[in-house]
Amino acid sequence: MTFVAKPRVHHPKLPVNDLGLTRRDYEGPVSTLCAGCGHDSVSAAIVQACAELSLPPHKFAKISGIGCSSKTPSYFLSKSHGFNSVHGRMPSVATGANLANRELYCIGISGDGDTASIGLGQFAHIVRRRINMLYVVDNNGTYGLTKGQFSATNDKGSTSKKGQPNLYEPIDVVSLALQLGASFVARSFSGDKRQLVPLIKAGLMHKGFAFIDVISPCVAFNNHNGSTKSYDYVRGHSEAVMASDFFLPQDEITVDYDPGTSEEVRMPDGSMLRLHKLDDGFDVHDRVRALNYVQTHHSRGEVLTGLLYVDPNASDCHEILDTVQRPLNELDVAELCPGNDALQGINESFR
Amino acid sequence: MKATNIFDPNYFHKVVDCQWACPAHTPVPEYIRLIAQERYTEAYMLNWDSNVFPGILGRTCDRPCEPACRRVRTEEKPVAICRLKRVAADNKGEIDAYLPKVPTRKNGKKVALIGGGPASLAVARDLLPHGYEVHLFEKDPGGGGMMRSQIPAFRLPIEVLEEEVDRILDMGVITHFNHEITSMKSFLEAEDFDAVFVGTGAPRGRDLELPGRTEADAHVSIGIDWLSSVAFGHTTKIEGKVIVMGGGNTAMDCCRTAKRLGAESVTVVVRSAFEVMKASDWEKEDAMAEGIPIINNRPPKEFVHENGRLKGILFECVEPVEEDGRLKYVPSGEPDVFMEADHVLMAIGQENHCPWIERDLGIEFDKWDCPVLDEDTLQSSNPKIFFGGDSALGPENIIWASAHAHKAAISIHLYCQGRDLKADRPPEGVNLISQKMGVHEWSYDSAHDPAERYLVPHVELKKALSNIKTEVELGFDQALGAKEAQRCLNCDVQTVFTEKLCIECDACVDICPMDCITFTENTEEEALRIRLTAPAANLEQDLYVSEELGTGRVMVKDEDVCVHCGLCAERCPTNAWDMQKSVFHIPQLGSYAE
């Protein structure tokens, strides 16, 4: 824990975005997680992404469950809406929030326990329902808050800090998300902001359910030689399929790759995700092959990172349910409560 | 870039901008911390050790440290370093026990100091504890040199001056006051000194050759001579309208003194623009606050007189034009301006003047009439003669005299002991001491204080102007001093990085409030500076580059705007970052363990 508050003083040339805000305006109070926790880097990446996109902080709903990961929404976007919910139940609350106010950018922060253990059922269904949100898993393979037991994403054979091997097969949340119909699936590493920040930006702008599994080492309990989620292991075994750069509609496109290896993915708001293939055998629009690819690499002990699947024309829950176009809080009494005649009409239609 | 060698004493010294800018390299952050701890005596002694005249300098220093202060770059206004020095001096306790012991048995060597100003006094202080017999020759009746004769009492009370001058004289200087040396040749022949130190300052005020100057001579005074005659009580009033010509600190002292001595009106007229005036900003502000107008861009043309009786001065009107980054002055087209004056004080600069040193003594002089000296030793071309202060390198400030004196004292010592003046000098050095006291506990106040600079209270204007001996600045009291001390960023508590401990988790990058830290691929400095989290545009500030890390990247820290808050070390899980206090060893004669 850190007791020293981060001072407000900032670099004299700190850039100001279109809203007149600096990156520092998107921060929260100083983190109380262990020093060196990967989760803090994920928070910093979210801060950077939101600041660079010039998104208004008050237009965010950040929702989390329980765990180290789920504490982190306190540490970014302090001027936004937030809900620290029940363990494993973040998807329910996020679903409610998104249905009530479709104009908020919804960020769900969860951990490997919150998503793959107690919350596995809820996770499966929010993916199915295609809630328009960015769902981030801070995945460290361990239960840090309860002092380092293996979590459900911990690889079989990797060991605890004391050297005990894990006897169970891991749940791969990326494979689950692909299988259950997520329209944007990525994996990244907390120690690689160059990759993570564009993915967060694209995930925020994606219409539909965007999922990023971030390997985020636990320095206190799972950053040792027997771990497959340590800084060293991930750096030594990760393989990026894509390099991605995210551009706003007004941005000058600055990255130029060789033709044939790069692809542009337009976002609904006109922004653009430029993907640069690092691996020839990969197609970012082929869900089945992506699943296969992820599993193959996993069986070799490799961590596949980058954008793994995207469907730029996906639909979201609001479209599927044909809901009202405006947030519920903008509807007046007459719209919300159309009266007895309307009710009778509905009842009649079921007879 | 090559990895930074932090054991080079200059590397971290440069990070302590104030100490680096101070000619005497006073350990500023350390004494400010002592003031914050109400340890005024220790703070005073730390100052006394390096700059010799803390009470005097706390009121009169030109403060090269303040424009250098990192706070100028992070938030605009520097820490009031100079006035904090005064807080230490004003509140110190008994210091005798801390003073160096002077042996009663002398070492048999005799050293002469010519001139009784700050340079000579500081040399005396350094030499006396080593058993030298020190003789000081001064033309005036008391010690202090220009500190006594040129700095008015409303800026520097006589008690403060005498306390610090006498402290040195009382260490056993053999004084020869009212003793002007008029011939170096006969001095050297008559006396048998092992070494001679010349610290006679820059005693000649410049004059202007203009029409009417000679005829009006009775109504024109040279600024520093006039101030000196006021200081010694020979001049007690000035009447009528006074014009002060010149834009330096002497001009400011002249106009404020004239105002107190009863002038009907006082006006400062400067040939150049306001922004480029030599006077320190605060001296200009103080003069203007006393209702003295400063008129710029007016070079004088003629002293207008009637049969030798001064009527005033005719000024040309010019305007500054920037050409190749320098200001040039062209006629503005306005007609010449006549300004009435009964008395003119000329404060347009001063220079070295050594007509009493014959030019056949083996002491070479350059074309500006300055002695040719070895920069490192301050030895002249006559090996037993050394120079320091203004007489060495031209007009500077008191703090330079202290710095020169330490250098010269080492040289004189080595010379008298028959040792090599360069090879045997004590080396510079640096010690790094961890400030970690426990989990989240640092031995310094690491939190950043966003407070703005506190203003030094002044005495009421009417009271100030009524008596030339009333000190204008009241100084910070202890409470205000403690607040101002909190503004110091503790730049001497360094961020020290240990490569082999780093796991590249980015915690330091994420927490740094000033975006100083980047992990990136190494390359040439120019490219590296652009690639950082926040581009490092200030080329005067170094980059701290680590050895290659596990991922093949390096850690690069831009020292420019680091506020030394210690959050990088606080958030580092492996102690790869540590906050370590740098203590620099600035060579002084006391550095010898003799």
Do B183 and B209 have their domain in common? no
Query: How far are the Cα atoms of A43, A91, A202, B284, B470 from residue A123, in angstroms, in the given order?
Result: 21, 6, 21, 71, 79
Q: List the structure tokens of A215.
A: 């390997």
Instruction: Give the per-residue pLDDT at A250.
Output: 77
* The amino acid at B477: D
Mark yes or no for CB contact A36/B446 under 8 Å: no
In a domain, B109, yes or no: yes
A79-94 confidence digits (pLDDT tens): 999 999 999 999 999 9
> What is the architecture, at CATH level 2, of domain A23-321?
3-Layer(aba) Sandwich (3.40)
Flag if B566 and A190 touch (Cβ within 8 Å): no
Give the separation between CA A113 and CA B153, rounded to whole angstroms.
75
CA distance A275 to chain B (A): 22
CA distance B253 to B287: 8
Q: A45 with A85: CB under 8 angstroms? A: no
pLDDT of residue B593: 46
Does residue A313 have a pLDDT over 60? yes
| Structure tokens, A47 | 């801060």
B408 and B387 Cβ atoms separated by less than 8 Å: yes
Bridge partner residues of B133 (DSSP): B110
- Alpha carbons B366 and B375: distance in angstroms, whole number: 14
- Residues B282, B337: one domain? yes
Together in a domain, B221 and B297: yes
Nearest by CB to residue B507, choosing from A1, A7, A40, is: A40
Interface contact A6-B511, CB threshold 8 A? yes
- The domain spanning residue B127 has which CATH number? 3.50.50.60
What residues have CB less than 8 Å from A317, skipping those under 6 apart? A95, A98, A99, A129, A130, A131, A132, A323
pLDDT at B312 over 70: yes
Q: Do residue B335 and residue B225 come from a single domain?
A: yes
- Rounded CA separation A77/A73 (Å): 7
Asked, for residue B178, whether it belongs to a domain, the answer is yes
User: A34, B510: Cβ pair inside 8 Å?
Assistant: no
Reported as a pLDDT band with limits 50, 70 and 90, residue B579 is very high
Q: What was the pLDDT predicted at B594?
A: 38
Q: Which of A4, A41, A235 to substitute to test the interface with B, most B CBs within 10 Å?
A: A4
Asked if residues A93 and A134 have their Cβ atoms less than 8 Å apart, the reply is: no
Distance CA B488, CA B352 (A): 38
Q: B487: distance to nearest CA of chain A, Å?
A: 13
Inspect the interface and report whether the beta carbons of A4 and B507 lie closer than 8 Å.
no
pLDDT in tens, B17-41: 999 999 999 999 999 999 999 999 9
Write out chain A residues lying below 8 Å of B514, CB-based.
Answer: 9-11
Q: Which of B325, B350, B375 is the last residue of a domain?
A: B350
**B344 and B376 inside one domain:** no
DSSP calls for B423-471: TTSPPPEEEEEE-EEETTEESS--S---PPPPPPPB--HHHHHH-TTS-
Residue of B203, B201, B198 lying closest to B223 (CA atoms) = B203
pLDDT of residue B16: 98
**Closest residue in B to A46 (Cα–Cα):** B510
- DSSP sequence for B171-238: TT-EEETT-----HHHHHHH---SEEEE-----EE-----TTTTTTGGGEEEHHHHHHHHHTTS----
- For residue A117, give both structure tokens: 């253990």
B329 shares its domain with B285: yes
Task: Provide φ and ψ at A57, rounded to 5°.
Answer: -55, -35
Q: Is residue B63 part of a domain?
A: no
Q: Within this chain, do residues B252 and B184 fall inside the same structural domain, yes or no?
A: no
ipTM of the complex: 0.91
pLDDT digit string, tens, across residues B495-553: 999 999 999 999 999 999 999 999 999 999 999 999 999 999 999 999 999 999 999 99
Q: Which domain holds residue B154?
A: 100-202+352-416
One domain, residues B117 and B210: no
Residue A260 has pLDDT above 90, yes or no: no
Average pLDDT over residues B549-574: 95
The 10s digit of each residue's pLDDT in B136-193 is 999 999 999 999 999 999 999 999 999 999 999 999 999 999 999 999 999 999 989 9
Write down the residue that tokens 């983190």 correspond to. A31
CA distance B111 to B127: 9
- Confidence bin at B133 (pLDDT 50/70/90): very high
CB contact under 8 A, A14 and B515: yes
Which residue shows structure tokens 């979201």? A316
CB B164 within 8 A of CB B143: no
Rounded distance, CA A184 to CA A285, Å?
Answer: 10
Residue B61 domain-assigned? no
Write out the DSSP string of A235-271: HHHEEESEEEEEE-TTS-----PPTTTEEEEE-TTS-
For residue B549, give the chain A residue with the closest CA: A232
Show which residues on chain A lie within 8 Å of chain B, measured between beta carbons: 1-14, 24, 30, 34-38, 40-41, 43-44, 190-191, 193, 217, 219, 223, 231-232, 235
Q: CA B89, CA B421: separation in Å to the nearest integer? A: 34
Residue where a domain stops, chosen among B416, B440, B472: B416
Chain A residues with CB under 8 Å of B515 CB are: 10-11, 14
Residue B346 belongs to some domain of the structure = yes
Mean pLDDT of chain B: 94
Q: B192-235 pLDDT, tens per residue?
A: 999 999 999 988 889 988 999 999 999 999 999 999 999 999 99
Q: What is the pLDDT of residue A209?
A: 97
Q: Do residue A2 and residue B551 have CB atoms under 8 angstroms apart? A: no
Interface probe for B, chosen from A6, A52, A229 (most Cβ of B below 10 Å), is A6
Shortest alpha-carbon distance between residue A233 and chain B (Å): 11
Residues B323 and B361 in one domain: no
Give a yes or no: residue B501 inside a domain.
Answer: no
Question: What is residue B577's predicted lDDT score, i.e. its pLDDT?
Answer: 97
**Is the dihedral angle over the CA atoms A65, A66, A72, A76 positive or is it negative?**
positive
- Tell how far CA B212 is from the center of its chain: 38
What is the full DSSP assignment across A120-178?
Answer: HHHHHHHHHHT-SEEEEEEE-SEETTTT-EE-TTSPTT-B-TTSPBP-SPPP-HHHHHH
- Give residue A256's pLDDT band: very low, low, confident or very high (50, 70, 90): low
Two tokens, residue B364? 């070479």
Domain boundary among B416, B439, B456: B416
Record: contact B504-A231, CB cut-off 8 A: yes
Same domain, B210 and B346: yes
Inter-chain touch A9–B506, beta carbons under 8 Å: no
State whether residue B503 sits within 8 Å of chain A by CB.
Answer: yes
* φ, ψ for residue A96, nearest 5 deg: -60, -45
Bridge partners (DSSP) of residue B519 are B555
Per CB-CB distance under 8 Å, the chain A contacts of B535 are 13
With a cut of 50, say whether residue A172 has pLDDT above it.
yes
Identify which of A177, A173, A172 has the alpha carbon closest to the alpha carbon of residue A208.
Answer: A177
- Give the pLDDT score at A257: 63
Q: Could you tell me if B226 and B344 lie in one domain?
A: yes
Contact B567 A1 (CB under 8 A): no
Do the chains contact at A41 and B510, CB–CB below 8 Å?
yes
Provide the shortest C-alpha distance from residue A15 to chain B (in Å).
9
Place of tokens 């100079």: B82
Q: % helix / strand / coil in chain B, to the nearest 5?
A: 35, 20, 45
Read off the pLDDT of residues B458-493 as tens digits, 9 standing for 90 and up: 999 999 999 999 999 999 999 999 999 999 999 999
* Residue among B72, B571, B574 with most chain A CBs within 10 A, to mutate: B571
- As a whole number of angstroms, the distance between CA B152 and CA B157 comes to 8
Element (H, E) at B82: helix B81-91
CA–CA dist B583, B242 (Å, integer): 50
- Average pLDDT, stretch A36-59? 96
Contacts of B570 in chain A (CB under 8 A): 2, 4, 35
CA-based nearest residue to B413, from B375, B372, B384 = B384
Together in a domain, B304 and B214: yes
Residues of B numbered 514-553 whose beta carbons fall under 8 angstroms of chain A's beta carbons: which are they? Answer: 514-515, 534-535, 537, 550-551
Domains of chain A: which residue ranges? 23-321
CB pairs under 8 A between A and B: 97
Please indicate, yes or no, if residue B5 is contained in any of the structural domains: no
CB contact (8 A) between residue B535 and residue A235:
no
Q: Is residue B376 part of a domain?
A: yes
How are beta strands B441-442 and B436-438 bridged, if at all? Answer: antiparallel
Break chain A down into helix, strand, coil percent, rounded to 5: 35, 20, 45
pLDDT in tens, B351-391: 887 889 999 999 999 988 889 999 999 999 999 999 999 99
On the 0-12 / 13-18 / 19+ scale of CB atoms within 10 A, A233 is buried
Of B87, B81, B135, nearest to B112 by C-alpha is: B135
Question: How many structural domains is chain B composed of?
Answer: 2
Answer whether residue A259 shows pLDDT above 60.
Answer: no
Q: Does B351 touch chain A (CB under 8 A)?
A: no
Of A3, A10, A191, the CB nearest to B514: A10
Neighbours of B159 (CB within 10 A): 11
- B505 vs A: CB within 8 A: yes
Determine the residue of chain B that is closest to A235 in CA distance: B551
Note the pLDDT of residue A271.
84
SS3 state at B169 = helix
Mean pLDDT throughout B67-91?
96
Token pair of B108 as six digits:
């048999």
Distance between alpha carbon B133 and the CA centroid of its chain, in Å?
A: 29
Q: How far apart are CA A91 and CA A64, in angstroms?
A: 8
Structure tokens at A251: 């941005």
Contact B506 A191 (CB under 8 A): yes
